[in-house]
């Protein structure tokens, strides 16, 4: 068999692949300069940036190894056509962190959209709109948008926020003042869906690449490069925390069963990324129960503002600030677990580790795009203010309690950038001080979990003894609004659990008008359907099956993996109070673990432009 490689005739003794023939000829495929992105693409035959020209057609390296060489073939590993293609693809990878190959597959969706009558493909390919950013959480790329209006519908019909509207010429427009950053628009954006490409991605061996997912028209603001820079900055002391829901959501991204718990493997992987301490937001979930539960009991005892509304869902908090500012006094002043951990990391833990708190960089991995906005709130700098008042730390300029928030999807990308596969990680434990947690903490990640965790501790604080059964199965369903009356000592607590902002709106209107829910004691609100397991930063797809698997994983963490299942039993939380915070709702607890809210309603700032 004779073939021509780079203008030289080669005789092959036996059948081989095109790549095998190239190797036998002593030729090699070019590797373009992709800047820092090249160190993250470890596939030796990356289909995007390893090319050969075979009989005038460009073929990727992955296909070259699978296609047999044929008699009379003409193969070039260097040509003007290859050079031009590689330059374009390298620029896309370096500047946009996007794989040319995945981008081309995304065009199949555009063809489907044309068939459905949403776009004209020829006009779509000429779109040249600027990106639309909702700081600091979301990006809308009108040039990828296929004008299906799914994001507009979920924002209007499911979340009742109506921050998105469709314009025939410009596509989807975003009202920044109304947007609560929940990210539910991302989950319904077809341009970010991967199901159509999954089999092909696996066939080409690209599943371990950080650029194996399409960039959706609606997506989170990607800050993996910022995290990478922090991890490689010798002046920084990076520490990590990750939310309850994350441990039950990552498995599906590493070819494991959906909902499988990867807690110990994730501790190990984060250490190998370069984090100096790996802590757990679950610790702060237990801490949240101590503060929020004590606040509830105080309100009941002193005829305070009821019903008390939970405050750990930042999408819900912003929804209340925007649409129901008159209900802000009802919100618990307790910060979310993410923000509590950031505050105690830089006040309680930093001095014990002999680290200047201004050098400590707290990086959070969350299921939620709204968490990015929460961490950026100007009042979330309690640690800085604490050190200013008590003479600790050397920083003159303010620094946040949480420095950077990445979604679960960004965490997957970051792990793949470092070449880490969760399946290969050993089981390790969290670092001490802020790493221990009870079974009450992981269920924070699903609807009803915050309420259930609070009731467990409230029973002990009010009645002096725990419930005979710690589970409240009626609170675990996916019903949008769940209610119960629970006898705790001499008090009958009327409680409700609500998830999805459309349901939240109905309950808030009832409270506002003095309806049925105005007589309740305590209501759990979650912005996202299903709670954090359905957060806007979760892996795609996040459907009912995925949510169910994640909920089962979190329940397993609670019921099968912990001897201690009530937040007040957490030994590290006890130590934190004994030697630093003193007690729940103390002066120092209020200064570090509690916050205030802002009226963001249109009436407070004039008409929306």
Q: How far is CA 536 from CA 227, 529, 539, in A?
A: 20, 10, 9
List the catalytic residue out of 145, 155, 179, 532: 532
Q: What percent of the chain has pLDDT over 90?
A: 84
Q: What percent of the chain has pLDDT over 70?
A: 98
List the catalytic residue out of 53, 253, 295, 569: 295
List the catalytic residue out of 98, 253, 292, 524: 292
List the catalytic residue out of 311, 313, 332, 336: 332
Tell me: the pLDDT tens digits for 486-543?
A: 999 889 999 999 999 999 999 999 999 999 999 999 999 999 999 999 999 999 999 9
β pairing state of 481-488 and 491-499: antiparallel
List the catalytic residue out of 125, 135, 202, 379: 379
Per-residue pLDDT for 266 more than 60? yes
Is 371 a catalytic site residue? yes
pLDDT value of position 393: 63
Domains of the chain: 2-96 (3.10.20.740), 101-221 (3.30.70), 228-593 (3.40.50.1780)
Dihedral sign from CA coordinates of 47, 52, 57, 58: positive
> For 316-461, where are the E strands, in sequence order?
360-366, 404-407
List the catalytic residue out of 213, 265, 361, 371: 371
**Residue 607 pLDDT level (bands cut at 50, 70, 90):** very low
Per-residue pLDDT for 357 more than 70? yes
Per-residue pLDDT for 198 more than 90? no
Tell me: the pLDDT tens digits for 361-413?
A: 999 999 999 999 999 999 999 999 999 998 766 667 999 999 999 999 999 99
Query: Omega into 129 within 30° of 0, i.e. cis?
Result: no
The CA distance from 261 to 556, in Å, is 9
pLDDT value of position 575: 98
Is 532 a catalytic site residue? yes
List the catalytic residue out of 148, 151, 206, 312: 312
Is 312 a catalytic site residue? yes
List the catalytic residue out of 374, 410, 524, 569: 374
Q: Which of 158-167, 393-402, 421-430 has the lowest mean pLDDT?
A: 393-402
Other beta carbons within 10 angstroms of residue 97's beta carbon come to 18
The CA distance from 179 to 175, in Å, is 6
pLDDT value of position 496: 98
Is 372 a catalytic site residue? no
Per-residue pLDDT for 606 more than 50? no
| Size (the chain), residues | 609
Per-residue pLDDT for 605 more than 60? no
Chain centre distance of CA 136? 13
The CA distance from 597 to 471, in Å, is 32
């Amino acid at each position: 068999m004779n073939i021509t490689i780079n203008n030289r005739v080669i005789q092959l003794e036996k059948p081989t692949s095109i790549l095998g023939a190239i190797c036998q000829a002593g030729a090699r495929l070019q590797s373009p300069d992709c800047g820092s992105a090249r160190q993250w693409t470890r596939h030796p035959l990356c289909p995007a940036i390893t090319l050969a020209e075979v009989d005038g057609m460009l073929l990727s390296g992955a296909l070259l190894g699978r296609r047999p060489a044929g008699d009379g073939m003409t193969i070039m590993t260097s040509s003007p056509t290859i050079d031009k293609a590689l330059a374009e693809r390298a620029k896309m990878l370096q500047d946009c962190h996007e794989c040319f190959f995945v981008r081309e597959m995304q065009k199949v969706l555009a063809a489907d959209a044309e068939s459905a009558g949403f776009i004209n493909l020829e006009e779509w390919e000429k779109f040249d709109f600027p990106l639309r950013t909702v700081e600091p959480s979301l990006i809308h790329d009108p040039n990828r948008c296929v004008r299906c209006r799914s994001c507009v519908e979920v924002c209007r019909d499911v979340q009742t926020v109506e921050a998105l509207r469709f314009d025939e010429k410009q596509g989807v427009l975003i009202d920044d003042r109304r947007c609560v950053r929940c990210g539910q628009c991302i989950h319904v954006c077809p341009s970010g869906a991967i199901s159509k490409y999954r089999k092909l991605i696996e066939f080409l061996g690209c599943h371990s690449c950080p650029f194996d997912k399409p960039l959706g028209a609606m997506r989170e603001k990607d800050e993996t490069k910022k995290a990478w820079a922090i991890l490689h900055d010798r002046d920084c002391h990076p520490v990590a925390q990750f939310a309850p829901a994350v441990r039950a959501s990552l498995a599906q991204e590493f070819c494991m069963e959906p909902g499988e718990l990867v807690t110990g493997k994730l501790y190990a992987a984060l250490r190998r990324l370069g984090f100096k301490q790996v802590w757990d937001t679950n610790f702060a979930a237990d801490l949240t129960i101590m503060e929020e539960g004590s606040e509830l009991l105080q309100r009941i005892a002193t005829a305070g503002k009821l019903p008390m509304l939970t405050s750990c869902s930042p999408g819900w908090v912003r929804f209340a600030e925007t649409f129901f500012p008159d209900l802000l006094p009802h919100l618990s002043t307790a910060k979310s677990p993410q923000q509590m951990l950031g505050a105690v990391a830089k006040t309680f833990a930093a001095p014990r580790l002999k680290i200047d708190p201004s050098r400590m960089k707290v990086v959070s991995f969350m299921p939620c795009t709204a968490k990015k906005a929460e961490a950026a709130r100007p009042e979330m700098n309690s640690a800085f203010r604490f050190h200013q008042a008590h003479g600790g730390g050397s920083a003159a300029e303010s620094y946040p309690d949480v420095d950077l928030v990445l979604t679960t999807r960004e965490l997957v990308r970051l792990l793949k950038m470092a070449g880490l596969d969760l399946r290969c990680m050993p089981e390790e434990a969290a670092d001490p001080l802020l790493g221990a947690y009870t079974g009450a903490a992981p269920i924070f990640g699903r609807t009803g979990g915050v309420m259930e965790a609070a009731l467990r501790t409230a029973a002990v604080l009010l009645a002096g003894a725990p419930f005979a059964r710690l589970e409240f199965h009626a609170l675990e369903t996916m019903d949008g609004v769940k209610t119960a009356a629970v006898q705790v000592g001499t008090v009958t607590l009327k409680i409700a659990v609500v998830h999805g902002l459309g349901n939240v709106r109905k309950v808030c209107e009832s409270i506002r008008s003095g309806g049925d829910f105005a007589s309740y004691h305590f209501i759990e609100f979650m912005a996202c359907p299903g709670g954090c397991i359905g957060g806007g930063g979760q892996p795609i797809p996040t459907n009912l099956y995925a949510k169910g698997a994640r909920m089962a994983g979190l329940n397993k963490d609670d019921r099968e993996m912990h001897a201690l299942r009530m937040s007040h039993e957490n030994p590290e939380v006890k130590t934190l109070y004994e030697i630093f915070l003193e007690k729940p709702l103390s002066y120092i607890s209020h200064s570090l673990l509690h916050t205030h809210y802002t009226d963001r309603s249109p009436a407070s700032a004039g008409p929306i432009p």
